[in-house]
Amino acid sequence: MKTKDKIFEKIDKDEIKMRPKWKFEVEKYGLVFGVSAISVLSGLTMLVSIWLIQMGVNLEILEFGVTGKQMLVGDIPWSWLAAFGMSTGIGIFLFSKIGVEYRKTGWIRLIRLMLLILAVLITLVLLKDWFELELLVRLV
C-alpha cells in the first residue's frame, strides 16, 4: 500500500479534519493576551509596591488633610507609570504583529525600534521635571 493511500486511509478512518484558521488565530492572540496580561500585572505590582513603600514612609502627611492627600497622590510615580504604559502598549502591539515566530528581518527591525523607544523613554523620564507643572495642573 502506498504511503499516500495510507495517509488518506488514516485521515478518513480517524476523521482527521483540518483545524480551522480561527483556532490558530485564537491560539495566537490568546498567547499574546496571556503574556501581555502577565507583563501588565507584574509591572503594575512593581509600581504599586514602590508607591506603597513611599506612602508608608510618608504616611504622616495624611495628617495635613486635603493637602496631605494631594501630596500623597503627587508621590505616585506618574512618569514611570506613563513609561510603563507606553512601553507595554507598544510591546503588546509588536508582539501581536510578530508573535513568537522568529523572523530575522522582523527581529532586527524590532531591536532597532525597541532601542529607539528606550531612548525616547529615558529622555522623557530624565526631562520629567519639565512636564511636572502640566501634570499638577491636570491633577488639580
Judged by beta carbon, residue 27 or residue 132, the one nearer other proteins is 27
In the complex with other proteins, the residue whose CB is nearer, 14 or 60, is 14
Contact 88, 39 (CB under 8 A): yes
Q: For residues 6 and 69, which CB has a smaller minimum distance to other proteins in the complex?
A: 6
CA distance 34 to 36: 5
Nearest distance in Å: CB 7, other proteins: 5
Between CA 119 and CA 105 the distance in angstroms is 21
**Which residue pairs from 36-45 have beta carbons closer than 8 angstroms and sit at least 24 positions apart in sequence?**
36/88, 36/91, 36/92, 36/95, 39/88, 39/91, 39/92, 40/88, 43/84, 43/88, 44/84
Residues from 24 through 43 that contact other proteins (CB under 8 A): 24
Q: Rule CB under 8 A: is residue 6 a binding residue for other proteins?
A: yes
From the CB of 15, what's the least distance to other proteins, in Å? Answer: 12
Question: Which of 103, 111, 127, 132 is the binder for other proteins (CB under 8 A)?
Answer: 103
Mask of contacts with other proteins, 51-90, x by CB under 8 A? Answer: ----------------------------------------
Residue 5, all three cell numbers? 493511500
Phi, psi of 75 (to 5 degrees): -75, -15
| Identified binder of other proteins from the candidate list 56, 65, 67, 104, rule CB under 8 A | 104
Residues of this chain that interact with other proteins (CB under 8 A) are 3-4, 6-8, 10-11, 16-21, 23-24, 102-104, 107
